[in-house]
Structure 1
Amino acid sequence: MIWATVLFFILLFLNMPVAFAIGIAGLVFFMTTPDLPSFLIVQQMATGTQSFPLLAVPFFVLAGHILNASGITYRLLRFANLLTRHLVGGLAHASIALTTMMGGISGSATADAAMQSRILTNDMLQRGYSKGYSVGIISVSSLITAALPPSIGLILYGFIGGVSISKLFLAGIIPGLLMAVILMAASYLVAKKEGYDQTQEFEKPSLLEVLKGLKDCIWAILFPIILIVGIRFGIFSASEGGAVAVVYATLIGFVVYRELNWTKLKSVITDAVSDTSMIMLIISAAGILGYIFSYENLPRFASDFITGITEQPTLLLFIVLLFVFLVGLFIEATAVMLLMTPLFLPVVIEIGYDPVAFGIIMVILVTMGGMTPPVGVTMFAVSSITKTSIAEYTKGSLPFLGAIIVLIVLLVIFPQISLYLPNLLLE
């Protein structure tokens, strides 16, 4: 086990793709454990992907790509800019508002941040915002997509931990909206301090302008509402909701907005297959680790070790989350979710903390690792697109990362924030 673990981290630091690092380390473990037949490694890789809830992943990934190709993104951006143009730091608020509305569409923080950095950064720089502030708020605000349905992270957590995905979808709504409010407050304070958008050259939008803007993008805003209502009233499950999302997105693209054509659809399907393949390959490799964890009884070892530090439940939870965050600084979010959930979810349940509330916190925290040095995927994406140095990005993003940490502390201390909607609608 020790040699396999050492090899795994060596391969990671050599920049080998996570799925291959897991698979090779798992193979070494099986080869060095005499009483384990080698065919089990193939069996566990296949078994790891054979689950009905996982059908939601390719469906929601495809639906997000179709909706983005349907012209919805630019309609939402115009509406977000309309609502926030008169505020101090207006374009930063527009980015946050756009992410909140896009959260029910893309399901991916990195995809959302990359898209916004392409279409918003130049405008923000022309308005006098610093590059660090601009890319920092675009990157960190994309974290909202981790909480709002149909978050891919929530689907994976629910699949690995055996937690209701429907409850997780509902539980993420209030924390996602709170995240938007906290980030807007932080962006306002920084903009006020740095003197961004102080002239207030834009007027507050009239009711007529708001209604007109809402009409233009109503089909995008209806998407997550239809999803939640359908799950709540048992019309379809969370996994089946993915198929509904694909049909909905296709109809909007071809019939309503008429911006989707067969050439775009072909490109969209290619991108969706690529994204899904990457996720499923990691899940398949994680099936090997799941078996190794069970064989070595690592969940029990982790539980005994952490509970031996202190018996105070809240402190234990913070220790678990700190460990998860530190791992997330070096490993891609999907892999962290698949590695850490089977290790720490039993510990969390043992201390009496709700697994749904923990899932929301864990998904937010793990995704945040992608926005921080040294190897954050989202950080590298926006920095590369905008040609921003890591030092400048880090300085600009710190106030917003601090705001997210405040939110995480609140969610840990008051799990009722996350559990309110699941308890109200599904009990």
Structure 2
Amino acid sequence: MLISFLVFLTLLLLGMPVVFAIGIGGLVYFLTQPELQLTMPVQLALAETQNFSLLAIPTFILASNLMNELGVTRRLLRVAYALTSFVRGGLAHASIILGFLMGGVSGSAIADATMQARLLGPEMVRKGFSKGFIAALQGFAGLLAVAIPPSIGLILYGSIGQVSIGQLFAGGIGLGVLMALIFLFTVTILSSKLPAKEGSFDGAQILYALRDGFWAVLFPLLLLVTLRLGVFVPSEVGSAAVVYALLVGVVYRELSLERIGRALSNSVRDVGMVSFLIAMAGVLGYGMKWEMIPQQVSRFLVGVIEDPQVALILILVSLLLLGTILDSTVMIIMLTPILVPAAKALGIDLVYFGVLMVMACAIGLLTPPVGLSMYSVCSIMGCGIQEYVREGWPLFVAALTTLIIALLFPQVVLFLPEVLFRR
């Protein structure tokens, strides 16, 4: 197994696309194990994509792309700006609120950060915000999509780890609300460096924006209610979300064949990327199972660390460090089969563990040297990594503070799952 990991890391450092590095690393394992047949990698890759619970992923991705095409994003921006235009640095606060609202639409931190940078970046530059600050702000605002349903990361963790996706969604909301509040507080502290406020409080404008964006804002709440009442199971609720997105398009009178075509095209690309990753990770993951690595990790953590809280801190720190070189989706797919048994052996609540694990993995998207969200927002804003780091470190501290508070007070994550699902 060591040889396979060395091959994987070497190919990654040489710049090979991560999905091929994973696949080749898995193939090397089978080549070094004469007792395993070489037909197995193909069979395993196909079998990994035949998991019924993974049906939630393509349907949620399609629903997200449909809502982005059918006027939802524009209305959510109007809501966010109406709520913040009367405070200093209003567009900065609006970015956080939009990230929170968009989390219920995009489900992807990279998609959210990229969209917000394109949407708000030019106007923020015109208002006097620095490019490095804009890039960092939109990148970290995108983290909220990791917590707010329908988070693709939580769906992947729940599907692979056999954990209730509905309860993960509920737990993610608690963490998302906390993170949004801490980000808003951080931006308020930095407000002396931000442009002056542009207007005064306008209740009528806020009510109009909320009324116009009502069906978009309602989406995450409907997901939880239908899952809690048993109207849909997770594999079905994604399909219901697609129908809901189409109905929203009809209500907003923005439904057209051209927009549906673009949404389908983008969804095929996104689903293909995620499915290919899952398939290749299944090949490498089989080697981990064959070598009994999950059991070894569990025995090590249980034998060496008696306190589950200390073990959880050690795991999260390792994920934050690993996130500096690996994509979060890859980490979730590869590490969930290893870490879920370890968390179970330590007596850590799997919903609580999953929400924190997925967020820790996602923070790596914004850290050098390999941060996909970081490179995306810096490219869009035309700023260097040094400027991004210099302007964005307070937001990084805010994201870590969110994790620390959730570690100290587990009810931040567990309150809603216990109330809604009577755990």
TM-score, structure 1 as length reference: 0.96
Matched, 1:239 2:238: no
For the Cα contact (< 8 Å) 2:323–2:365, is it kept in 1? yes
1:146-171 CA-partner distances (Å, limit 9, x unpaired): 00110000000001111111110111
Matched, 1:81 2:81: yes
**Displacement after TM superposition at 1:295 (Å):** 0.5
- The CA distance in 1 between the partners of 2:184 and 2:5, in whole Å, is 42
- The CA distance in 2 between the partners of 1:421 and 1:55, in whole Å, is 25
2:183 aligns to what? 183
**Displacement after TM superposition at 1:230 (Å):** 0.8
Instruction: Please tell me the residue identity of whatever aligns with 2:33.
Output: T
For the Cα contact (< 8 Å) 1:171–1:419, is it kept in 2? yes
For the Cα contact (< 8 Å) 1:331–1:375, is it kept in 2? yes
1:322 aligns to what? 317
- The CA distance in 1 between the partners of 2:85 and 2:206, in whole Å, is 12
- The CA distance in 1 between the partners of 2:303 and 2:167, in whole Å, is 31
- The CA distance in 2 between the partners of 1:329 and 1:307, in whole Å, is 27
2:14 aligns to what? 14
5 Å-filtered alignment, 1:222-301, equals: 222-253=218-249, 255-301=250-296
Provide the secondary structure at the position in 2 that maps to 1:172: helix
**Displacement after TM superposition at 1:127 (Å):** 2.0
**Displacement after TM superposition at 1:309 (Å):** 4.3
Instruction: Please tell me the residue identity of whatever aligns with 2:215.
Output: W
- The CA distance in 2 between the partners of 1:260 and 1:388, in whole Å, is 36
For the Cα contact (< 8 Å) 2:302–2:345, is it kept in 1? no
Provide the secondary structure at the position in 2 that maps to 1:235: coil
Instruction: Please tell me the residue identity of whatever aligns with 1:204.
Output: F
**Displacement after TM superposition at 1:323 (Å):** 1.1
1:203 aligns to what? 200
Identity, in percent, stands at 42
Matched, 1:70 2:70: yes
Instruction: Please tell me the residue identity of whatever aligns with 2:228.
Output: R
2:164 aligns to what? 164
Provide the secondary structure at the position in 2 that maps to 1:81: helix
Matched, 1:358 2:353: yes
For the Cα contact (< 8 Å) 1:286–1:339, is it kept in 2? yes
**Displacement after TM superposition at 1:66 (Å):** 0.6
Unaligned segments of structure 1, at least 5 residues: none
- The CA distance in 2 between the partners of 1:365 and 1:205, in whole Å, is 38
- The CA distance in 2 between the partners of 1:398 and 1:370, in whole Å, is 14
For the Cα contact (< 8 Å) 2:88–2:198, is it kept in 1? no
1:421 to 385, 400, 416: 416
For the Cα contact (< 8 Å) 1:314–1:413, is it kept in 2? no
Instruction: Please tell me the residue identity of whatever aligns with 2:152.
Output: I
**Displacement after TM superposition at 1:344 (Å):** 1.7
- The CA distance in 2 between the partners of 1:307 and 1:394, in whole Å, is 37
**Displacement after TM superposition at 1:220 (Å):** 0.4
**Displacement after TM superposition at 1:347 (Å):** 1.8
Unaligned segments of structure 2, at least 5 residues: none
**What CA RMSD, in Å, does the superposition of the two structures yield over aligned residues?**
1.3
Aligned length: 422
1:340 to 335, 340, 343: 335
- The CA distance in 2 between the partners of 1:222 and 1:271, in whole Å, is 24
**Displacement after TM superposition at 1:102 (Å):** 1.0
